[in-house]
Amino acid sequence: MFYWFLKWIAIGPVLRIVFRPVVEGAHHVPEEGAAILASNHLSYADWLFMPLTLPRRVTFVAKAEYFTTPGLKGWFQRKFFSGSGQVPIDRSGASAAEGALSAAKRILDQGELFGIYPEGTRSHDGKLYRGKTGVARLALETGVPVIPVAVLGTDVVAPPGKKFGTFTRPGVRFGRPLDFSRYEGMENDRYILRSITDEIMYEIMRLSGQEYVDQYAARAKEESKRLEKEAKDAKAATVDEGQAERRKAS
């Protein structure tokens, strides 16, 4: 009930009036029955704008900390995330992937829409990164179609790592459903899982127009941070050397 309150009364109308998101291909999403919505991930605002464009509820998994914070803040946070279509998952342990898979199966078994970000984390530079094979395993084990989705402009509205963005009209593009029933019973074949995942990511790339990088987003993000740190250290070292030279000259 709270989900529909947020979508149609509290938050949804404001987002529609202010940002006027552009929607393409929404007819590819079935009016009823289970389906996986596999999307790129540019911003934390993605999970607001993508479901906003559909009349049906879309459920995602979210980190368990959003549901376990104590106190009054924790109560409001828990109510908001649970009511806005999120289910908790502990991402700290080795079984995180299995926990997310189980939660997704429960949602799909109920004939609902499940949203997933195959990249696993937000893109730090707007590029599309290699997908994790959990989406392929989920598709094969449930037998439901995968609908590729591209969100556009959310990284301008809410840039990663920044408090404020700039105004733009976000876009959401839904691609044709992908059927992987030809691979039935092959959910334990890692080559098949990789092939399916790459096919999904290709469709997302085609819809979004993003540059594709055959590297996991988390690793690329770590590499970017390392290079930034090395650059800062080198700059600091150069400044220190210059100051030392000036002291000698004086």
Tokens, residue 220:
């690329």
Average pLDDT for the chain = 88
Of the listed ranges 67-71, 103-107, 152-156, 225-229, the one predicted with least confidence: 67-71
- Number of H helices and E strands in the chain, helices first, is 10, 9
Of the listed ranges 52-61, 85-94, 109-118, the one predicted with least confidence: 85-94
Please give the Cα distance from 199 to 136 (Å, whole number). 10
Question: What pLDDT score was predicted for residue 100?
Answer: 79
pTM of the model: 0.86
- Per the model's pLDDT, the better-predicted residue between 247 and 30 turns out to be 30
Question: What pLDDT score was predicted for residue 239?
Answer: 72
Q: pLDDT (tens digit, 9 = 90+) per residue, 166-180?
A: 899 999 999 999 999
Please give the Cα distance from 222 to 226 (Å, whole number). 6
Give the C-alpha distances (Å, rounded to integers) separating 81 from 66, 101, 142, 179, 195: 7, 19, 25, 31, 33
Question: What pLDDT score was predicted for residue 90?
Answer: 58
Alpha-carbon torsion (133, 137, 140, 145), positive or negative: negative
Please give the Cα distance from 153 to 208 (Å, whole number). 10
Q: pLDDT (tens digit, 9 = 90+) per residue, 228-242?
A: 888 888 887 777 677
- Per-residue b or e along 167-191, where b marks 16 or more CB atoms closer than 10 Å to that residue's CB: eeebbbbbbeebebeebeeebeeee
Task: Say how far residue 89 (Cα) sits from the centre of its chain.
Answer: 15
Question: What pLDDT score was predicted for residue 43?
Answer: 93
